Amino acid sequence: MARQRRREEPSGGSPEWLTTYSDLVTLLLCFFILLFSFSSVDSEKFQSIMASFQGGTGVLSGGTILDFPMEFPEDNLEAELVEMLKDLEEYAETLNLGEKITIKPEERGIVIRFMDNIFFDSGSAEIKKESLEILKTVAEVLNREEFSTRHIKVEGHTDSDQIVKVSKFPTNWELSSARATNVLRYLVETENIEGNRISSSGYSYYRGVAPNDTPENKAKNRRVDIVILNDAYIELEP
């Protein structure tokens, strides 16, 4: 009778299939790294996706932090926006606004960020008279002929503190929207910026740049952003 050979088992170590699997995962990782390097990243979408992996969304307590940790290089801005950025930075230095105003390039364009106490009293959407000169100077830059086709977004933001009952605004939604709208109205009705190139939005506390966990961070979140969009984002506007 012929003897049946027994198949020799490996003496030790990982199974052979694990090596193949590891090679496949490595190749997939390299593939996605290449895709990422060829693409442009929308900072807000990227942060929203990351928040979803971390268990946080815009409807949870504290909102979603959307401030993109990586600096956007000025060299990546369109030449026209680089010129505008320099003019706005010179203007901010002239008025000695310090930490009250931040001007920075982002993927969608230039963001001029004003802390809310520059324009508004607590719980109010009425622009302070002493702040109108600041808006006037910004409008002069926006109205220059070389920038006359740029679309502008005015965005209102608050912290997570509840509105006090005596306020005429039921929630932070109404307050942030009213503040953004009043800035827009001043730019259009007083400074003659064309209404078809400007829009406003209120985001309550759902697009914070810091957690709403300390008075200092809450102060960072109470702000009005004026965003001058680059061409790619202008095409997305109605």
Assess whether pLDDT exceeds 60 at residue 69.
no
**Dist. CA 107–CA 150, nearest whole Å:** 15
**CATH number, residue 143:** 3.30.1330.60
* Rounded-to-integer distance, Cα 105 and Cα 112, Å: 9
Domain range for 156: 65-234
Return phi, psi of residue 224, to 5°.
Answer: -125, 125
DSSP, collapsed to helix, strand or coil, labels residue 12 as coil
4 within a domain of the structure (yes/no): no
For the segment 157-171, what is each residue's pLDDT rounded down to a tens digit?
999 999 887 778 999
227, β-bridge pairs:
111, 153
Closest C-alpha among 126, 85, 60 to residue 226:
85
Q: Is residue 39 part of a domain?
A: no
CA distance 106 to 225: 12
SS3 content of the chain, % helix, strand, coil (to 5): 45, 15, 40
Q: Give how many domains the chain has, as a whole number.
A: 1
Say if 59 falls within a structural domain.
no
Domain annotation covers residue 218: yes
Give the pLDDT confidence score for residue 70 in this predicted structure. Answer: 43
The enclosing H or E element of 202 equals: strand 198-202
Mean pLDDT across the chain: 78
Residue 47: pLDDT above 50? no
Q: Write down the residue that tokens 């680089």 correspond to.
A: 82
Per-residue model confidence (pLDDT) at position 191: 95
| Average confidence (pLDDT) over 6-12 | 54
pLDDT for residue 96 is more than 60: yes
pLDDT at residue 68, rounded to an integer: 40
**pLDDT value at residue 77:** 64
In the predicted model, is pLDDT for residue 45 greater than 80? no
Are 136 and 144 in contact, with CB atoms under 8 Å apart?
no
CA distance 43 to 69: 9
Q: With a cut of 70, say whether residue 226 has pLDDT above it.
A: yes
- Looking at per-residue pLDDT, the higher value among 149 and 13 belongs to 149
- Cβ 81 vs Cβ 88: under 8 Å: no
The CA-atom distances, in angstroms, between 182 and each of 45, 50, 124 are 28, 33, 11
- In a domain, residue 148? The reply is yes
- The pair of three-digit structure tokens given for residue 22, joined into one six-digit string: 């590891």
Any domain includes 34? no
State yes or no: pLDDT of 60 exceeds 50: no
If we measure between CA atoms, which residue out of 173, 158, 154 comes closest to residue 209? 158
Does residue 46 fall inside a structural domain?
A: no
In a domain, 190, yes or no: yes
Residue 51 has pLDDT above 70, yes or no: no
What pLDDT does 10 receive? 54
128-145: per-residue pLDDT in tens? 998 898 899 889 888 988
CA 20, CA 155: separation in Å to the nearest integer? 51
